[in-house]
């Protein structure tokens, strides 16, 4: 019986090694193709991706989730008014933002001062560990080192300033490693 299990394991390993080789080959081919593109073609591809993400953000269904409080609702409404604003590292509004710049600016519009960085914002209120307990306007902390933050928008969506080359937009909360929420 053990010999049969070992043979099955060896067969599975061989099959996985074959699949890995195929994937690496396809990845190598894709990289070669990408390397043949001019800077202008690469910029056009990046622009198309950004436009697709922005269009998807405009069509997002937020459902009927209610705001956590008047302040959270006001902060969320302020952030919504900045959809389409460009991401700029270190910016905190009113015309461009990084992730924590957007959230601190939005809460400031609601009359609430929160810390400027995502790591400090992670400790600014009551932690919520279950995504099902999140309410609109709650801060949502991502990644183990807590380097990204957004505002919960309802229906599994977050409103955030993702990264350089993007704009303030909605995105599925599942696209990043959720750590916890923070209710201000």
Q: What CATH number is given to the structural domain containing 90?
A: 3.90.1720.10
147 a catalytic residue: no
Please tell me whether residues 46 and 72 are part of one structural domain.
no
Total number of domains constituting the chain:
2
Please tell me whether residues 73 and 156 are part of one structural domain.
yes
User: Which pLDDT belongs to residue 53?
Assistant: 63
Q: Which of 148, 158, 168, 173 is catalytic?
A: 148
User: Which pLDDT belongs to residue 33?
Assistant: 87
Which of residues 40, 56, 72 is at a domain's end?
A: 56
State which H helix or E strand residue 139 sits in.
strand 139-142
Please tell me whether residues 79 and 106 are part of one structural domain.
yes
Q: Which of 75, 99, 139, 158 is catalytic?
A: 99
User: Which pLDDT belongs to residue 35?
Assistant: 86
Q: Which of 160, 167, 173, 183 is catalytic?
A: 160
List all residues 6 or more positions away from 85 whose beta carbon is below 8 Å from its beta carbon: 93, 95, 96, 97, 161, 167, 168
Q: Within the chain, which residues score under 70 in pLDDT?
A: 50, 52-69
160 a catalytic residue: yes
Helix/strand/coil for 13:
helix
Indicate the average pLDDT of the chain.
90
Please tell me whether residues 28 and 103 are part of one structural domain.
no
Residue with tokens 């990046």: 46
User: Which pLDDT belongs to residue 3?
Assistant: 93
Please tell me whether residues 91 and 34 are part of one structural domain.
no
Domain range for 27 is: 2-56
User: Which pLDDT belongs to residue 54?
Assistant: 59
């Amino acid at each position: 019986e053990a010999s049969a299990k070992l043979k099955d394991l060896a067969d599975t390993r061989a099959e996985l090694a074959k699949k890995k080789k195929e994937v690496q080959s396809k990845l190598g081919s894709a990289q070669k193709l990408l390397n043949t593109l001019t800077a202008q073609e690469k910029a056009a591809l990046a622009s198309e991706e950004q436009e697709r993400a922005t269009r998807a953000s405009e069509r997002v269904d937020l459902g009927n989730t209610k705001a956590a409080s008047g302040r959270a609702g006001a902060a969320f409404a302020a952030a919504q008014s900045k959809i389409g604003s460009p991401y700029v590292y270190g910016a905190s509004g009113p015309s461009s933002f990084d992730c924590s710049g957007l959230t601190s600016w939005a809460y400031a519009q609601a009359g609430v001062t929160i810390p400027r960085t995502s790591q400090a914002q992670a400790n600014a209120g009551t932690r919520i560990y279950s995504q099902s307990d999140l309410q609109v306007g709650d801060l949502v902390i991502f990644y183990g080192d807590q380097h990204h933050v957004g505002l919960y928008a309802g229906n599994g969506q977050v409103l955030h300033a993702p990264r350089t080359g993007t704009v303030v937009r909605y995105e599925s909360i599942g696209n990043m490693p959720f750590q916890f929420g923070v209710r201000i």
